[in-house]
Amino acid sequence: MGFHLWFYFILLIFLFCPTVQAAEPQQANCGEEVCGNITIPSPFGIRSTCYTLPFFRVTCKQIHNQKKPFIRINGLDLEVLGSLFGDTILIKNPVTYVNCDHKKEVASATVNLTGTPFFFSSDYNNFASVGCGNLVTIFRNEADAFGGCVQTICGDGASESGCSNKISGTFTSTIVNMTAMYPIGKDDRKRCSSAVIFSRLYFREAYPLPIGINIETTHVPTTLSWNSSYCGDAGCAPRPGPMSFIGEKSCGNVSFQYPFEIIDQEYPNGWFKVICKKNSNGRTTPFLNINGVNLRILDFSFLYGNVVVNHSITYFNCRKKSNNGMSLNLTGTPFYYSDFDNIFWSSGCGNLATVFDSETGNLVGGCLQPSCRISNETSSVTGCSFNIPHGLTSFSANLSGRVDSSNYSRKRSCGFASLVKSDLYFDLTLESNDFDVNNWTYVPTSLQWSTPMPGSCHLRQGLNTTCSSDSVYCWQSLSSTHLCVCNKDFGIGGFSTFCEGENCGIYNWCHILCLNAPGNYCSSRDCPPEYKYNSTGGMCEPDENISQAPPKETRNLTIIIHFLFDKWKH
């Protein structure tokens, strides 16, 4: 019996191995990797996907009972202490010894940054020398001195003789020279001295040496800077990756990309197939079929998640044109009328325009056109307008005489009512001249196939990334329905947030794009997993209070193991 229990016990462990592995913590993001108690700043990295050049590779070594990070520069391993400023890293820098026979090993370890992206900068570092009676000069090369100081006289009673001073400029290597300044005794000629470049923010200034620097000091914190141009146009920080690029397909003067495809190509979602028709002149025009209606496509935008189509106009009180005021029916599709890119516009005078939701019959809104008595108008370019709610899929419009028309002439103009792209409405209504609505058949209207949302996200290094063919913008998946979309040059008004920090890279204008499902339209509150909606800022933000409790599968496995162990004991 005991044998069989052990057999099933071992079998269950193997069966649950994938569950245990899935419950393990995910790898840290680049720029957030940890070695010991040091967080590795970007563009440095432990994993190969977190750095672009070997100079920025960090090796995590076990030193005694503690893990410590190191970078290797020209054959020398330098311990990393962290980062105080952007484009800098703090290292343990070995001191240079003169006349110190008992420190030969340390004395040979001189940092030479030649041929690397790194350099010492006077913006963060100073120079110090431990010893007495010498003029200490520091050279970039044998002929170019850029700093130095005079050590205090030997035997002046100071507990630690030496000097310190500021330096100027930038440099990659140093040569230290010591020249006697005072008459010295025979024993003083061989007195041990040292010199070092140190981070001035790490030590408190004192006379004659900063507190903490003495002849027994073997290493000091020193700040290294780097030149990003050394890494080329892409910079030293790794781009998100692996990266793939989405090709564009054109029909007429409109270019399409994900999720739209030309109809002669296989694509599993029929809602996004573009019909490319050729006319008698050989020119092509793109159309989108929605619920049996072919709509001419005028424009496509991935960043805004919309497509602009020709939409029919509803005419009222016009001799040659009239219809029932019903809109396109988008119910059961991934599309809805854009509430931020459209405005309901009714051109004319003396009419009351009302709009109802065709699905619910509820009043969506309405507006009153100006009186036709004003300037004896027979029409009005401005007419009236109002905004629409989010997620509208169909509507019916109506123009009628005003209910209380005592202050209005009974005269009513020919007018139309339709949803129209906001920028077209504002462009037209800024003009002072009227136009003849009888010449209009369609107006451009924007349909949302996804919903742009304000959200704090950025492209995370090391994750699969998709980019536009011109590399202007890229995106990553936050969930099966949410994308983090980041643009390189500009933001999307009302949606983009600017990503600041060394982990943002060059794609620093970001927003969230939520993909609509047929009949299920995202709202600005439909945040991705591990995000929460901030009602004050009106945006989705990472949820910092996500429970760190072990996954349920792990606890179940523990219960099973305890159960089998108890059964075996009995």
Mean pLDDT of 274-302: 89
Mean pLDDT of 133-157: 80
One-letter amino acid of 166 = K
Helix (H/G/I), strand (E/B), else coil: 563 = helix
In the predicted structure, residue 282 carries a pLDDT above the cut 50: yes
Lowest average pLDDT, out of 24-33, 88-97, 322-331, 504-513, goes to 24-33
Lowest average pLDDT, out of 2-16, 170-184, 268-282, 495-509, goes to 2-16
Helix axes 552-569, 2-23, angle to 10 degrees: 160
Distance in angstroms (rounded) separating the CA atoms of residues 69 and 484 = 32
Q: What is residue 292's predicted lDDT score, i.e. its pLDDT?
A: 84
- Give which of 421, 387, 384, 409 is closest to 399, Cα–Cα: 384
Most confident of 128-137, 256-265, 499-508, 557-566: 128-137
Lowest average pLDDT, out of 232-236, 422-426, 487-491, goes to 232-236
Q: For 172-183, what is each residue's pLDDT tens digit?
A: 888 888 888 876
Distance in angstroms (rounded) separating the CA atoms of residues 342 and 334 = 17
The torsion region of residue 265 among left (phi > 0), alpha (psi -120 to 50) and beta comes to beta
Mean pLDDT of 516-537: 88
Mean pLDDT of 534-552: 70
In the predicted structure, residue 371 carries a pLDDT above the cut 90: no
Between 172 and 20, whose confidence is greater? 172
In the predicted structure, residue 185 carries a pLDDT above the cut 70: no
Helix (H/G/I), strand (E/B), else coil: 290 = strand
The length of the chain is 570
**Phi/psi at 496 (5° precision):** -75, 145
In the predicted structure, residue 444 carries a pLDDT above the cut 60: yes
Most confident of 22-36, 166-180, 231-245: 166-180
Q: What is residue 89's predicted lDDT score, i.e. its pLDDT?
A: 92
Most confident of 244-258, 264-278, 536-550: 244-258
Most confident of 94-103, 333-342, 409-418: 333-342
Q: Please report which confidence band the pLDDT of residue 546 belongs to, taking 50, 70 and 90 as the band edges.
A: low
Mean pLDDT of 144-163: 78
Between 168 and 512, whose confidence is greater? 512
Mean pLDDT of 257-278: 75
Q: Please report which confidence band the pLDDT of residue 144 belongs to, taking 50, 70 and 90 as the band edges.
A: confident
Between 500 and 210, whose confidence is greater? 210
CA 375 to chain CA centroid, Å, is 54
Lowest average pLDDT, out of 272-276, 322-326, 419-423, goes to 322-326
Mean pLDDT of 372-389: 72
Mean pLDDT of 301-321: 82
In the predicted structure, residue 254 carries a pLDDT above the cut 80: yes
394 within 8 A of 327, measured Cβ to Cβ: yes
In the predicted structure, residue 214 carries a pLDDT above the cut 60: yes
Beta-strand pair 175-180/134-139: antiparallel
Most confident of 24-38, 187-201, 285-299: 285-299
Q: What is residue 515's predicted lDDT score, i.e. its pLDDT?
A: 92
- Give which of 450, 440, 457 is closest to 498, Cα–Cα: 457
Mean pLDDT of 497-502: 77
Give one DSSP letter per residue of 206-275, joined into a string: -SSS-TT--TT--EEEEEEEE-GGGG-TT-SSPPSSSEEEEPPEEETTEEE-TT-EETTS--S-GGGEEE
Distance in angstroms (rounded) separating the CA atoms of residues 366 and 381 = 17
Q: Compute, in degrees rounded to 10, the torsion defined by CA atoms 489, 492, 498, 499.
A: -80
Q: How are the residues of the chain apportioned to helix, strand and coil, as percentages rounded to the nearest 5?
A: 15, 35, 50
If you search the block for the tokens 């930038």, which residue do you land on?
170
322 within 8 A of 438, measured Cβ to Cβ: no
**H/E element, 297:** strand 293-301
Mean pLDDT of the chain, nearest integer: 79
Helix (H/G/I), strand (E/B), else coil: 5 = helix
